[in-house]
Amino acid sequence: MVLLCLVSACAIARTARADKSDLPPEVGWNYGEIETPRSAAMGGALRATSNSVSALFINPANMAVTRIYHIGALAQIWPEANRQSYGGAAVDSIVSSAHLAGGLGGTWTLQDPDGIDRRATDLRFALAFPFSDQFFLGVGGRYLWLKQDGLGPLGDSVVSGGLKGENIVRGFAFDAGATIKPSDFFSISVVGNNLNNPGNGFQPSSVGGGIGVGTEDFTVEGDVLSDFTTWDTTKVRAMGGVEFLAANNYPLRVGYRYDDGAVSHTVSAGAGYVDRSFSAELAVKRVVSGDAATAIIFGFTYHLESTGLTPSPADSF
């Protein structure tokens, strides 16, 4: 399955690079979000119930909710936007006897090489701590290098086309998140992204929250986010998603997102296989109202704790 996904991704990526994209660049950039198959399939509604690698990218506090050591790889293909992203991440909440969790990830993006020719490297790192079984707090940093050597809608200008061969963005931003779990099945989270206000639309400052209900087999969540930077005024994005684990190994997901800034509606769906040792997942989302765009997200995660190579909680330091 993983090999088939990789072959499909390469074929789609070659097709995506054939012509200049007709979409506005901000559609393909997607607010600089790094999505995993799970978060994409859930419509982005995963701030309250995320874990593993997804937590690193959407709510660092949730890295400490479960005891895991996961290493993952991901890929995003946007055919109409001529965008492709490839990355990897690791999240560990086992090694520290204090239950301190840590995560590190990196993603490389190429967007519309025959148009704006945008290339970016996104580095993420985060720490999280469980203050109790009900309260989790996480902080994260992100460093973005971005250059844009092509021509945008304003032609040959710094604003539209960037600086030839030079980074137009090279800066640090930080995130923070908190999750409250009144019970094992109910979660409430609040997350702030790019809280130091980097001052550019590639790293938009935003604050969002989510409420989720989840059991071993079923999860439902709704999120709302306010974006303070991308548009002339503060705009809202509302998201919802449902997840069902069929036959103990096959997650099935659907989601929806409304974007007040782009005035668009996006639907999404995903499926995968997960067991004690690894997971392989796929998600597809489509903007059905607004600038039509499709995104295909692949992911593979290896559960290192299942090998016995990591220390048990009793042996942690």
pTM summary value: 0.89
- Residue 150: pLDDT band with limits 50, 70, 90: confident
Task: Give pLDDT tens digits for 190-237.
Answer: 999 999 999 899 999 999 999 999 999 999 999 999 999 999 999 999
- Residue 16: pLDDT band with limits 50, 70, 90: very low
C-alpha torsion sign, points 294, 300, 303, 309: negative
Query: Domain spanning 2-315: which superfamily?
Result: Outer membrane protein transport protein (OMPP1/FadL/TodX) (2.40.160.60)
Domain boundaries, given as residue ranges, for the chain: 2-315
Give the model's pLDDT for residue 307.
Answer: 85
- Residue 155: pLDDT band with limits 50, 70, 90: low
Q: Which of 33, 157, 46 is nearest to 87 (CA)?
A: 33
Phi-psi label, residue 290: left if phi above 0, alpha if psi -120 to 50, beta otherwise: left
Question: How many secondary structure helices (H) and strands (E) does the chain include?
Answer: 5, 14
Give the model's pLDDT for residue 163.
Answer: 61
Contacts of 55 (CB under 8 A, 6+ apart): 61, 62, 63, 65, 91, 103, 128, 138
